Amino acid sequence: MCVQVVAAQPLRVVLEISPPHQTLENGKVGGLTTAVVEQMLQQAGLSAAYEVYPWARAFRIAATTPDVLIYNMARTPEREAQFEWIGKVASYKFGFLKLSRRHDIKVHQLSDIGKYVIGAQRDDFSAEWLRDVAKQPQQKLALQPDVIETWRLLVNGKLDLMIDDPQAIEDMLTQHQLRRSDVEFVFFPPELEQHTWIALKKGSSPELIERLRRAYQQVQEGVALQKAMRRMAPKAV
């Protein structure tokens, strides 16, 4: 794709819904990281054609199709050579989450998780970590298409634990009519503290990649990116 063509047509952008960073309201994509992406594209003189999918499908499209932008994605060793990394767009501290009423679940160290059924999103870096690093038994790993389904199963008692970020759960709590005191984070593996990125597949247009990187540099000190990257204390119950 040459730079002239890039400017003439919307850039294909794939993402999952993962509040508060990526949201969908009345058919419009929004959220903290979406605001950064929109500013970057505006700076680059590009428009976007957003496509919302479960994470696994969004990832596979971006991993196999040149000139498709994806956000926000963890930069893992397995993915490093697959993608061109444009810039950081969010900061996460993931941990294991349970329903507070599940007093039977005790996690003090990583080796404790093997006896519990844990939910994660298919092709998500947390699922890869559970499989490859934590060595979670396959029969105890319940992979879902998106975080919305993972939450539904947790709330309905089909999962013992799931992985999420304390700052990213407010929308799910509201959706399931839960208070923050109804859930509890029990363990935070240091490996799950991650920055996430804007990226495109290796082999995408060099002109497009350079254009996006220059635009990202111009919005790097902006309020939208600082807000998306900020770590704040969770809201009080």
The model's pLDDT over 88-102, given as tens digits with 9 standing for 90+, comes to: 999 999 999 999 999
Mean residue pLDDT of the chain comes to 92
**Residues 12 and 83 occupy one common structural domain:** yes
**Residues 172 and 155 occupy one common structural domain:** yes
Distance, first Cα to last Cα, the chain: 50
The model's pLDDT over 42-87, given as tens digits with 9 standing for 90+, comes to: 999 999 999 999 999 999 999 999 999 999 999 999 999 999 999 9
**Residues 116 and 178 occupy one common structural domain:** yes
- Model confidence at 1, in pLDDT bands (50, 70, 90)? low
What is residue 226's predicted lDDT score, i.e. its pLDDT?
Answer: 82
| CATH code of the domain covering residue 15 | 3.40.190.10
The model's pLDDT over 173-190, given as tens digits with 9 standing for 90+, comes to: 999 999 999 999 999 999
- Model confidence at 7, in pLDDT bands (50, 70, 90)? low
Single-letter amino acid, residue 41: L
Assigned domain for 235 exists: no
**Residues 124 and 172 occupy one common structural domain:** yes
Percent of the chain at pLDDT > 90 equals 86
**Residues 86 and 21 occupy one common structural domain:** yes
Domain boundaries, position 218 = 3-92+194-229
Assigned domain for 213 exists: yes
What is residue 8's predicted lDDT score, i.e. its pLDDT?
Answer: 66
**Residues 65 and 134 occupy one common structural domain:** no
Tokens at 81, concatenated: 């050579």
Tokens at 102, concatenated: 């599940």
What is residue 227's predicted lDDT score, i.e. its pLDDT?
Answer: 82
Assigned domain for 137 exists: yes
Query: What is the b/e burial string over 116-126, where b = at least 16 CB atoms within 10 angstroms of the residue's CB?
Result: bbbbbbbbbbb
The model's pLDDT over 189-222, given as tens digits with 9 standing for 90+, comes to: 999 999 999 999 999 999 999 999 999 999 987 7
Q: What is the mean pLDDT of residues 113-125?
A: 96
| pTM of the predicted structure, to 2 decimals | 0.85
Assigned domain for 237 exists: no
**Residues 86 and 202 occupy one common structural domain:** yes
Tokens at 117, concatenated: 């059924």
Domain count for the chain, please give it. Answer: 2
